[in-house]
Structure 1
Amino acid sequence: MLKTAPRFAKARAERLHLEEFRKSKKALLMKDSDGKTVSEREADAYAHPEYQEVLDGYKVAVEAEETLRWKLKAAELQVEIWRSQEASNRAEGRAVR
């Protein structure tokens, strides 16, 4: 858990950064669009290759964050299993006496 937690934090920060950058990129692309209406400019921004690159990066960031999140969750569950087993062992020890 101690090794995974900092990597998870970094992955989460990257994902959140890309989430916000995606909005900025869309605004910049809409500003540069030749579309006449807002919906035309928005469509141009969504279809732009640079916006697609941001989405691809966002996908990778989400995958990395989720992988590390589930590794942390698995480690937490292992600790809980160990605690339950130890409690059972203590209860069994008291029952035998």
Structure 2
Amino acid sequence: MKMAKYSRASNGAQRSLLMDKTTGHDMHKLPVLLILATSALLSACSSADFYAMRQENAQDTCRKLPEADRGACLARNSADYDSYKKQREGLLDSSKK
């Protein structure tokens, strides 16, 4: 992709833009578009979704442990999101006192 600097008049003033010679697209817009796309993807996942993914990973790790340790590990990582959230809020409240 060949890049070149071009000047473009905007409201009577000259403005230098980094543009792609082959397509003529303004390359300054690319980081903004990437940030917006990433934000949209991240906002689609809720805290509950992240918790579920983390919990699934932890349970997969538990299943790889020897059988003597596996049960305790699975028990530690079996709470549903609502239980986790209540426990977390209780800990946060007690730490503020």
User: Normalization by structure 1: what TM-score?
Assistant: 0.30
Higher relative contact order (CA 8 A, sep 6+): 1
Q: Which has the larger radius of gyration?
A: 2
More helix by share: 1
User: Normalization by structure 2: what TM-score?
Assistant: 0.30
